[in-house]
Amino acid sequence: MKIGVLSIQGAVSEHLKHLNLCDVEAFPVKNQDELAEVSGLIIPGGESTTIGKLIEVSGLAGPIKERSKKGTLAVFGTCAGMVLMARDVADGSKDQPKLDLMNTRVKRNAFGRQKESFETELDFKGLDRTLTGVFIRAPIILEAGDDVEILARLSEGIVAARQANLLATSFHPELTGDARLHQLFVNICRAL
């Protein structure tokens, strides 16, 4: 099985390292040919508007939407990736780029600026013990449709969710030594 990490911005090498711990072939995805080879795609953190515009320009947005909606591509969005996957961005611009994959409404930078970044232990549905969430200028899910399973939350709102072949987190699991969320994503890919 091959799983790609969108290689436009963000912690690409860290995601690749975690995927390699899950015994899958992992590589960076920069173009449509590379995207066509993968069963799953991780959209890492970074700046959601910039990433959104670059995937449009590179021709990746259409194939990502099409394959994920058909169920032939699993997508895991972390931080900015979660914003891009949402159907609605509460504080986005009029022309906010988004993939409109997940039945969620998100707020960007919900916890404040860079200096308000933090780590906390999270209870995560389906995991046997807590995991560390690293929140850096993190978004939050304000609303989730009935078809969205809530996996983790803080008092401020939802920080992890799943909808069929889609997984999204407000935080950065690639910045810890814990590969359990990457393994969860691999399992979603294997079920396609």
DSSP 96-137: ------EEEEEETTTT-SGGG-EEEEE--TT-SS-EEEEESS
Q: What is the CATH number of domain 2-190?
A: 3.40.50.880
Side-chain-facing half-sphere of 143: CA atoms under 13 Å: 7
**Is 79 tagged catalytic?**
yes
Active site includes 37? Answer: no
The whole-number average pLDDT for the span 73-86 is 97
Inform me whether the pLDDT recorded for 163 exceeds 90: yes
Q: Is the pLDDT of residue 103 over 90?
A: yes
**What is the per-residue burial (b if ≥16 Cβ within 10 Å, else e) of 149-174?**
eebbbbeebbbbbbbbbbbbbbbbbb
pLDDT of residue 11: 87
In the annotation, is 172 catalytic? Answer: yes
**15, 18, 172, 182: which is the annotated catalytic residue?**
172
% of the chain at pLDDT higher than 70: 100
Average pLDDT, the chain: 95
Give the pLDDT of residue 10: 83
**Could you say which of 15, 18, 79, 189 is catalytic?**
79
Could you report the per-residue pLDDT of 176-192, keeping only the tens digit for each? 999 999 999 999 999 99
Residue 22 has a pLDDT of 97
Helix ranges restricted to H, the chain: 12-21, 32-36, 48-57, 61-70, 80-85, 180-190
Q: Determine how β-strand 166-169 pairs with β-strand 74-78.
A: parallel
Confidence (pLDDT) at 93: 81
- pLDDT for residue 114: 82
Residues 44-62 have a mean pLDDT of 94
- Amino acid (1-letter code) at residue 43: I
**Within a 13 Å sphere around the CA of 120, how many CA atoms are in the beta-carbon half?**
17
Task: Return the ∠ at Cα 124 (arms to 137 and 74), rounded to 5°.
Answer: 75
Q: For 39-47, what is the mean pLDDT?
A: 96
What are 133-162's pLDDT values in tens digits? 999 999 999 999 999 999 999 999 999 999
Closest CA to 105 of 141, 133, 65: 141
Question: Domain locations in the chain?
Answer: 2-190
The per-residue pLDDT for 156 is 93
pLDDT band at 36 (very low <50, low <70, confident <90, very high): very high
pLDDT band at 69 (very low <50, low <70, confident <90, very high): very high
Catalytic residue from among 15, 174, 182, 189: 174
Please compute the mean of the pLDDT values over residues 84-92 and round it to a whole number.
Answer: 94
Per-residue pLDDT of 111-135, as tens digits, reads 888 888 999 999 999 999 999 999 9
Per-residue confidence (pLDDT) for residue 79, from 0 to 100: 96
